[in-house]
Amino acid sequence: MNVNQGAVAQAASSVRVVIVDDHAIFRSGLKADLDASIHVVGEAATVEQAIAVIAEQRPDVVLLDVHLPGGLGGGGREVIAGSVPLLGTTRFLALSVSDAAEDVVAVIRAGARGYVTKTISGAEITDAVFRVAGGDAVFSPRLAGFVLDAFGTAPADIADDELDKLSARELEVMRLIARGYSYKEVAKELFISIKTVETHVSAVLRKLQLSSRHELTKWAAERRLL
Amino acid sequence: MTTVPARPPLARSSDRVIAGVCSGLAVHLGWPVKNVRVGMALATLAGGAGLVFYAWLWIMVPTADEAARRNARRPASPIAPAVSQAPAAAVAGTLSALPSAPPGPAPFGQAPLSQAPSNQASLGQAADGGAPQGEDGAAPPGARKPGEPPWFRWQSMKYGKEILLGCGLLLVAGIMIAQLLGVDVPLGTLIPAAAVLGGASIAWMQLDETRRAGLVNKTKADQAGGWARLAAGLALVVAGVLVMVSGSGSWEQTWLALLASVAVLGGVVLVLLPWALKFWRDLETERAGRIRETERAEIAAHLHDSVLQTLALIQRRASSEHDVVRLARAQERELRGWLFQDPGREAGQLSDRIKAVAAEVEDLLGNAVEVVSVGDAAMTEGHEAMVQASREAMLNASRHGGGAVSVYLEASDGQAEIFIKDRGPGFELADVPEDRLGVRESIIGRMKRHGGSAAILSTGDGTEVRLRLPAASTDNVEGKS
C-alpha cells in the first residue's frame, strides 16, 4: 500500500518526506519552509528513531542531518546503513551545518544522493527534494568544490580507471556548479540539455560513492579540519 | 649557609681564565677573585679535589647569559635562585670536606654530581607544574586538587636537601679526619649503612618528583631511546661498580658477580613492575584529565566571548532582520574558523586571503558571500592584485546583485582562477560611464598590469566576473591535491 501511495504521490508531483534532525526548532522551521506539495510524514531525532520511522513510512525522500545522536555514533551515515534495503525507493538528501569534508564525503559514500547546507532557502531545498525524489543528484557548490579537490582538476586519460578520475565534461560541470551555476545555467553554458547535466552529476556521484581511490578517504581525513 | 637571600645568583662570569668559574664564584660569595683562584689552586694540590670541584661547577653552573635568559623566560619561577643555591650549598660542604680529604676524593665528588641534576629537574618540574594552576585565574589556587601538597610547604623545604647533603658531607669529612688522626672508625659497617641510606633516599626523592609532575615527560624516558639509554647506563654503572668492588679480581669472579647482580636486579624489577605500572597508569589518567579540563575551560571561555555575546546582540537587535543576519553570519564565520581551522596549515595562502576579503565584504554590505576553493597557492604580488580585484568584484556583486554572491577559487600549478557570480539584473560594460573606475581600473586594468586577465559576463540573470592569473615564472605555486 505504501509503495503504491508513493508512486501515486510522485505522479501527482507530491513527495513524502521524513525529516531527521536532532534539533526540534530546525525540524519545525524546515517543515514551515518546505513547499505545500511536500508532505512531511515523519520526524526523528536520533539514529534509532530515524531507522524505525523510515522503515515504517517508506518515504520518497529523507532529509538527513549529518550529525545525529544515538546509535554507534555514526550519525547520518549510520541511518543510511541501517536503511540499506530501502535504498532503491527511498532517497537520502544530507543536510549539514558542517563544512568538514570528512562528514560530507562519508555520508555521500554511504549512499546519500546529495548534500546541501542548512542555510539554503526554502525554495532551494524544495527544489532539491524534488530533484532527489526524481532520482537525480544534488550538488551544492561546496560539495562540487570537495569533489574537485578530491579527484583533482586534471581530466582523466582514457587509460585511467574511470572511477578514479572525472572526465573532462564532468569536470566542466563540477566547476560550473562550484561557481554557483544552477543546472539550467550549466546546461546553457555548455550547450547541453538539463538532462545531460543531470546525467553527468549522477555519474560524478557514482564515482564519489564507488571509487576505491585510496586518496579519497585519505584526503577527506586530512580535510577533517577544513 | 644558604639562608642569605640577597646574594647574586651563581653564574659563570665572562671575566674568565678558563671557564669563568672562579670569578663567578667570587661574585656569588662576595670574596675577592684572587682568593678564590688561589683557594682553587690549593685545593687542586689536595689530591686533585680542586680540579674535580672546578669541573663540576663548569658543568653544572650556567653562564651569565644563560642565567639571564632563563630568568627572562620565567620571571616568577623559583628555578633561578634554586639552581644557583644548590651548588652553593654543595660548595660549602665540599669545600669543608676537601682540604682534609685523603687522596682520591672522587667518590665523594660523585655524590653532589648525581644529586644536583635531580634537584634541578625537580625544581624545573615544580615550576612547570605550577603554570596550569596559575592559568586558572579566577579559581582559587589549589582548590581543584585537594590531594596535592600545598605549594608553600614545598617552598619551605626547598633547601632541605642541600642542607642534609652538606651535613652528610661534613660527617664524612669528620670521620676521615678522625681516621687520619688514628681513631679507629668501624668503616666496615659504616659504609654499607651509608650506602643503603643514600640509595633509599635517592630513590624516594625520585619518586617524589615523579609524582609531582611527570618526570618521564621531562626526560623523554617513555621513548624507546630513553629506555635504551637508561638500560645502558645501568649496565655500565653495575659493571663498573663490580669491577671496582671485586678489585682487580679474576675475570670469572667478576663475571659471577655480574650474573648474580643482574639476577637480583631482575628480581627487583619483577617485584616492582606491577606497582610501577599501576603508578604509571594513574599518572597518565591524571594527566589526561587535566588536559581535558584545560580544553573544556578554553572552549567555554571562547564560547562565552564570542557566541554568547553575539546571541545577546541578536536579541537586542531582533527588530532589524538585516542586522540579525549580519551578526549571525559574522559569528558563524568566526566559529567555523575557530572550530575547523587546521593549526598546522600554513596561514596566509591565497584561499585565506580570498576568504578574509569575502568576510569583509559580507560585513560591509550584509549579503552572504560564499567562497568555495580548490587547491591553494602561496601569495605573490600578482595574487595580491588578484585578491584586490576580486574584492572590488565582490563589492559590486553584493551592491548591485542584491543577493548572495558565489566566489570560486581554483589554484593549480599553472594558474589561479577566481570567479565571482551574483544573480542581479546585470549590466552592460559599455553602459558604464568612462569616469567610473570600479570595473575598468580596479578589476580589468589591475589584472592586466600583473599579467593576468579579467572578463565580465553579464546577462539578465546575473553577472560573473572571471579573473585569471598565470603562475609566475618562479614556480612557487603549490597544488593541494
Per-residue pLDDT of A106-158, as tens digits, reads 888 888 888 888 878 888 888 889 988 888 888 888 888 888 887 777 766 55
Cβ atoms of B395 and A168 closer than 8 Å: no
Q: Say how far apart CA A222 and CA B345 lie, in whole Å.
A: 11
Q: Which of A178, A215, A226 lies at the smallest CB-CB distance from B340?
A: A226
Cβ atoms of A151 and A126 closer than 8 Å: no
Q: Compute the nearest-CA separation of B410 from chain A (Å).
A: 9
Q: Compute the nearest-CA separation of A10 from chain B (Å).
A: 30
Q: Which residues of A touch B368 (CB under 8 A)?
A: 119
Residue with cell 617513555: B222
Q: Say how far apart CA B218 and CA B443 lie, in whole Å.
A: 56
Q: Which residues of A touch B377 (CB under 8 A)?
A: none
Between chains, do A179 and B374 touch, taking CB under 8 Å as contact? no
One CATH from 2.40.30.110, 3.40.50.620, 1.10.10.10, 3.40.50.2300 for A143-222: 1.10.10.10
Q: Give the residue from B467, B404, B373, B354 showing the smallest Cα distance to A144.
A: B373
Own/partner contacts of B74-82, CB < 8 Å, gap of 24 or more, are B74/B127, B77/B127, B77/B130, B78/B123, B78/B126, B78/B127, B78/B155, B78/B158, B79/B123, B79/B124, B79/B127, B80/B9, B81/B5, B81/B9, B82/B119, B82/B120, B82/B123, B82/B158
Q: Compute the nearest-CA separation of A40 from chain B (Å).
A: 27
Q: Compute the nearest-CA separation of B456 from chain A (Å).
A: 14
Cβ atoms of B407 and B370 closer than 8 Å: yes
Q: Which residues of B touch A178 (CB under 8 A)?
A: 372, 374, 408, 410
The model's confidence at residue A217, banded by pLDDT at 50, 70 and 90, is low
Q: Which amino acid is at B185?
A: V
Domain boundaries, chain A: 2-135, 143-222
Between chains, do A225 and B480 touch, taking CB under 8 Å as contact? no
Longest dimension (CA), chain B: 117
Q: Which amino acid is at B186?
A: P
What ipTM does the predicted assembly reach? 0.79
Interface of B with A (CB under 8 A): 336, 340-343, 368, 370, 372-375, 406, 408, 410, 412, 419, 421, 461, 464, 480-481
Between chains, do A142 and B370 touch, taking CB under 8 Å as contact? yes
Record the cell numbers describing residue B262, joined without a space: 643482574
Q: Which residues lie closer than 8 Å to A155 by C-beta, 6 or more apart?
A: A165, A166, A167, A168, A171
Between chains, do B342 and A150 touch, taking CB under 8 Å as contact? no
Q: Say how far apart CA B481 and CA B477 lie, in whole Å.
A: 13
Cβ atoms of A15 and A133 closer than 8 Å: yes
What is the assigned CATH class of domain A2-135?
alpha beta
Cβ atoms of B102 and B180 closer than 8 Å: yes
Percent with pLDDT over 90 in chain A: 8
Q: Say how far apart CA A219 and CA B247 lie, in whole Å.
A: 65
Q: Which of A141, A153, A219 lies at the smallest CB-CB distance from B372?
A: A141
**CB-hemisphere CA count at 13 Å for B181?**
8
Between chains, do B412 and A145 touch, taking CB under 8 Å as contact? no
List the strands of the sheet with B415-422, edge to edge. Answer: B369-374, B405-411, B415-422, B462-470, B453-459
Q: Which of B342, B406, B412 lies at the smallest CB-CB distance from A179?
A: B406
Q: Which of A149, A151, A179 lies at the smallest CB-CB distance from B421?
A: A179
Q: Which amino acid is at A45?
A: A
**Residue in chain B lying closest to A102 (CA):** B340
The confidence score (pLDDT) of residue B203 equals 54
**Domains in chain B, ordered, with CATH?**
1-133+146-219 (no CATH), 344-470 (3.30.565.10)
Q: Give the residue from A36, A49, A82, A80 showing the smallest Cα distance to A62.
A: A80
Cβ atoms of B341 and B377 closer than 8 Å: no
Between chains, do A153 and B372 touch, taking CB under 8 Å as contact? no
Q: In a 3-state reduction of DSSP, which class is residue A75?
A: coil
- The per-residue pLDDT string of chain B (481 residues; one tens digit each, 9 = 90 and over) reads 444 456 777 788 777 777 788 888 888 888 888 888 888 888 888 777 888 888 888 877 777 777 776 665 444 433 333 334 444 444 444 444 444 434 444 444 344 444 444 444 334 343 343 334 433 433 344 344 444 444 444 444 556 777 888 888 888 888 888 888 877 766 666 665 666 666 656 555 555 555 544 545 544 445 565 566 666 666 666 666 666 666 555 677 777 877 888 888 888 888 888 888 889 989 999 999 999 998 888 888 888 878 888 888 888 888 888 888 888 888 888 887 777 766 656 667 888 888 888 888 888 887 888 888 888 888 888 888 889 899 988 988 888 887 888 999 988 878 889 999 888 777 776 666 666 666 777 888 888 888 888 888 888 788 888 999 987 644 444 443 3
Give the pairing of strands B369-374 and B405-411. parallel
Between chains, do A149 and B370 touch, taking CB under 8 Å as contact? no
Q: Which residues of B touch A148 (CB under 8 A)?
A: 374, 410
Record the cell numbers describing residue B386, joined without a space: 588578484
Between chains, do A145 and B341 touch, taking CB under 8 Å as contact? no
The CA R_g of chain A, rounded to the nearest whole Å, is 17
Q: Which residues of B touch A145 (CB under 8 A)?
A: 372-374, 408
Q: In a 3-state reduction of DSSP, which class is residue B422?
A: strand
End-to-end CA distance of chain B: 67
Between chains, do B370 and A226 touch, taking CB under 8 Å as contact? no
Judged on CB neighbours under 10 Å (0-12, 13-18, 19+), B9 is: buried
Cβ atoms of A138 and A162 closer than 8 Å: no
DSSP string, B246-303: HTS--HHHHHHHHHHHHHHHHHHHHHHHHHHHHHHHHHHHHHHHHHHHHHHHHHHHHH
